[in-house]
Amino acid sequence: MRNTSTTVTAEHGVPFTAVYVPAGGAYGATDSLIAIVDLVEFYDARYALVNDFGEAGQFVNRYNADTMLGRDSWRSATGGINLNGGVPDWEIDAATMTEVRDWLTAVVDA
């Protein structure tokens, strides 16, 4: 399966692109890394195709997809997420994260 993405807008108005990277898929700034587990990456979509950022936007953070879905030992698939404590805009509220998790579940389970 290839990387696939969705764009959501957090309640404070910041759009984020979430990118699913399946195990074996390429990722990283130059797609030179290979995922050993399913991942989900988050990008600030306000910066899509600005400066040297790609069409997804400015990279913010990456997580294990099973963790995002509550399928590993963390067992927490509820609530919002602070993607980077140093940037107030990089927080996704609970309702928007539910959208992300619903999309991610459909993609992973397809």
For residue 76, the enclosing domain spans 4-108
> Of 7, 25, 93, which is closest to residue 65 (Cα–Cα)?
25
Three-state SS at 48: coil
The residue that leads in pLDDT, 73 or 89, is: 89
68 within 8 A of 104, measured Cβ to Cβ: yes
pLDDT per residue over 90-109, tens digit each? 999 999 999 999 999 999 99
pLDDT per residue over 9-18, tens digit each? 999 999 999 9
25 within 8 A of 37, measured Cβ to Cβ: no
59 within 8 A of 67, measured Cβ to Cβ: no
What is the total count of domains within the chain?
1
What is the average pLDDT score of the chain?
91
> Of 19, 18, 21, which is closest to residue 37 (Cα–Cα)?
21
Q: What is the pTM of this model?
A: 0.92
Q: In the prediction, which pLDDT does 3 show? A: 80
